[in-house]
Amino acid sequence: MSTETLNPKSEPSRWSRAWNSNMGYSFRRNPVAVVSMIVFLLIAVASFLAPLIAPYDPYDPAQIDIMNSEYPPAWINGSLPGFILGTDDQGRDLWSTILYGTRLSLLIGICAVALQAFLGISIGLIAGYVGGRLDSLLMRLADIQLSFSTLMVAIIFLAVTQAMFGTDTFNKYAVVFLIAVIGVAEWPQYARTVRATVLAEKKKEYVDSARVLGFGPMRIMVRHILPNSLSPIFVISTVQVANAIISEASLSFLGLGMPPSQPSLGSLISSGFDYIFSGSWWITAIPGVVLVVLVLVINLLGDWMRDVLNPKLYKG
């Protein structure tokens, strides 16, 4: 650190600055965080490279043979050598299907959280900064939204859209519907947290001095208050990604999410559930383990981040 300030020529790169920062340091020192990060990256990279890695394309009916259905994983007697994790009830290679399914789950989780964050942060910023009647109105809206459970809203919404558009159209746009409904149902989480931090931040003098410099409210909110409210946003985001993945899995499990032809982890678990007592436990268990591991590592990362960014434990 001191050598860097003494020698202005050696401009540290962004990456090495992140690596040497407090966050980077505590990350390296925390084995749980490192392992979680590695596992998460493995899952994420593998699933997003699914078309390259997967030996079969589970969306291509030509590659699926119903005669191959319910082969067990490779380490169990009676398996077929081509299918490492066995096959599901329709004869799809389970390994490929899990890769594609994880990709869908992650995609829906992340996009839904992006939507939540966008709605929640905008509404929270405005409510906190403007205050007064608008604040009360927006926060009561949030309260109303929160008094319905996410799943209930999602089930009603998805059931109605399914009935309205018909199953075929619904299945085509299932991803979009899922993102929209999970995104809309959970925005108050963000809005409340952001509002609370904005209320604390806007009392600080740097906001006064920004106003004194003649900046408009938009600029003050987005450029001055928002960057100072980011740490709680990061923390909720990780938790919310995990929640969104679980919500998506639950909805798919209930048959309101991804169709069996394009299974996400949830619909895979659900489709295997019928066979669990006939001995084909792997169709449910293996995607279930992947889901649990995925959610667990995201939550562990969120935990670690909450500890690092907690101003009571560490002051910058």
Partner 1 sequence: MSLLSVRDLTVKFAMRDQTVTALNGISFDLAKGERLGIVGESGAGKSITGFSLMNLLSRPGYIDSGKILFDGEDVVQMNNKKLRNLRGNRMAMIFQDPMVTLNPVLTIGQQMIETLMAHRKLSREEARQIAIVKLREVYIPSPEERLEQYPHELSGGMRQRIIIAIALLLDPQLIIADEPTTALDVTIQADIMELMLELCQSNQVGLILITHDLGVVSQMTERTLVMYAGRIIESGRTREIINDPQHPYTQGLINALPQQTLPGQRLKQIPGNMPGLVSIPAGCAFNPRCKYATDFCRSRVPETEHYGKVEVACHEVQRLNSDEDRQEAQA
Interface residues with partner 1 (CB under 8 A)? 8, 131-132, 204-206, 208-216, 219, 223-224, 227-228, 230, 316
Taking the least distance from each CB to partner 1, the nearer of 62 and 212 is: 212
Taking the least distance from each CB to partner 1, the nearer of 131 and 260 is: 131
Query: How near is the Cβ of 103 to partner 1 at its closest, in Å?
Result: 34
Report the DSSP beta bridge partners of residue 93: 87
Query: How near is the Cβ of 227 to partner 1 at its closest, in Å?
Result: 4
Query: How near is the Cβ of 223 to partner 1 at its closest, in Å?
Result: 7
Nearest to 250 by CA among 185, 163, 188: 185
Query: How near is the Cβ of 216 to partner 1 at its closest, in Å?
Result: 6
Query: How near is the Cβ of 273 to partner 1 at its closest, in Å?
Result: 48
Query: How near is the Cβ of 213 to partner 1 at its closest, in Å?
Result: 4
Q: Distances in Å between the alpha carbon of 156 and those of 149, 151, 161?
A: 11, 8, 9
Taking the least distance from each CB to partner 1, the nearer of 32 and 222 is: 222
Round to whole Å and give the CA distance between 181 and 244. Answer: 10
Taking the least distance from each CB to partner 1, the nearer of 208 and 274 is: 208
3-state SS of 38-68 is HHHHHHHHHHHCHHHHCCCCCCCHHHCCHHH
User: Quick one: CA dihedral 182, 185, 191, 194, positive or negative?
Assistant: negative
Taking the least distance from each CB to partner 1, the nearer of 21 and 167 is: 21
Query: How near is the Cβ of 303 to partner 1 at its closest, in Å?
Result: 24
Tokens of 155: 């089930």
Backbone angle region of 12, left / alpha / beta, with phi > 0 → left and psi within -120 to 50 → alpha: beta
Taking the least distance from each CB to partner 1, the nearer of 214 and 279 is: 214
Taking the least distance from each CB to partner 1, the nearer of 62 and 213 is: 213
Round to whole Å and give the CA distance between 93 and 183. Answer: 31
Round to whole Å and give the CA distance between 106 and 298. Answer: 11
Which three-class secondary structure state does DSSP give residue 93? strand
The tokens 């959970």 sit on which residue? 186
Rg (CA), the chain: 23
